[in-house]
Amino acid sequence: MRRAVPILIGVAIGAALMIKPKKRSASSAPKLSDGTPRAQILFFHTQWCPACQKAKPELLNIAKRHPSIVFTHVNIEKDPEMASQFSVSSIPTFVALIDGKEVDRREGFKDSTDLESFVETALESSQIETDEQKAIEA
Specify the pairing of strand 70-75 against strand 93-98: unpaired
The residue ranges of every structural domain in the chain are 3-137
Nearest by Cα to 46 from 23, 15, 18, 77: 77
Decide which of 3.90.550.10, 3.30.530.20, 3.30.43.10, 3.40.30.10 is the CATH code for 3-137.
Answer: 3.40.30.10
- d(Cα 118, Cα 75) in Å, to the nearest integer? 20
**Could you tell me the pLDDT band of residue 137, with boundaries at 50, 70 and 90?**
low
Q: Span 66-86, mean pLDDT?
A: 93
- Cβ-based neighbour number of residue 98 at 10 Å: 19
Estimate the crossing angle of helix 112-126 against helix 50-65, to 10 degrees. 50
| Secondary-structure breakdown of the chain: helix, strand, coil percentages, each rounded to the nearest 5 | 35, 30, 35
| pLDDT higher than threshold 80 for residue 13 | no
Cα angle value 78/103/95 (rounded, 5°) = 25
- The predicted pLDDT at position 126 comes to 64
Q: What is the reported pTM?
A: 0.69
**E strand or H helix that includes residue 19:** strand 16-20
Q: Span 85-105, mean pLDDT?
A: 93
Mean pLDDT of the chain, nearest integer: 75
Active site residue ranges:
49, 52
- The predicted pLDDT at position 60 comes to 94
- The predicted pLDDT at position 46 comes to 96
Cα angle value 38/93/2 (rounded, 5°) = 65
| pLDDT higher than threshold 50 for residue 80 | yes
**Could you tell me the pLDDT band of residue 2, with boundaries at 50, 70 and 90?**
very low
| pLDDT higher than threshold 80 for residue 33 | no
